[in-house]
């Protein structure tokens, strides 16, 4: 899976999980999880996200597109700038 084109700086102090609103800190390997939504026809074209979330919060993410069909949840781990 390719990286989203506009990845937020995950290590920035303002990076907060949209689910629990706590700060997201990179793992020991320097990565964070980002999630989003993509259409089934083009899974690399993210239409919502990327949002930096905790591993345990990834199943509770709510988006404006939750009620629409045809979108797949996408996620990946990305290395932070620090």
**How would you class 6 by CB atoms within 10 Å of its CB: exposed for 0-12, middle for 13-18, buried for 19 or more?**
exposed
Tell me: the pLDDT tens digits for 25-38? 999 999 999 999 99
Q: pTM higher than 0.95 for the full model? A: no
Across residues 34-55, what is the average pLDDT?
91
Residue 74 has pLDDT above 50, yes or no: yes
Q: Is 14 left (phi over 0), alpha (psi -120 to 50) or beta?
A: alpha
């Amino acid at each position: 899976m390719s990286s989203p084109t506009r990845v937020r700086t995950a290590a920035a102090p303002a990076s907060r999980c949209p689910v629990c609103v706590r700060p997201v800190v990179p793992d020991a390997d320097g990565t964070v999880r980002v999630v989003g939504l993509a259409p089934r026809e083009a899974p690399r074209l993210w239409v919502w996200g990327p949002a930096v979330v905790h591993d345990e919060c990834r199943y509770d993410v709510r988006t404006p597109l939750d009620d629409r069909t045809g979108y797949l949840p996408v996620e990946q781990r990305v290395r932070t700038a620090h």
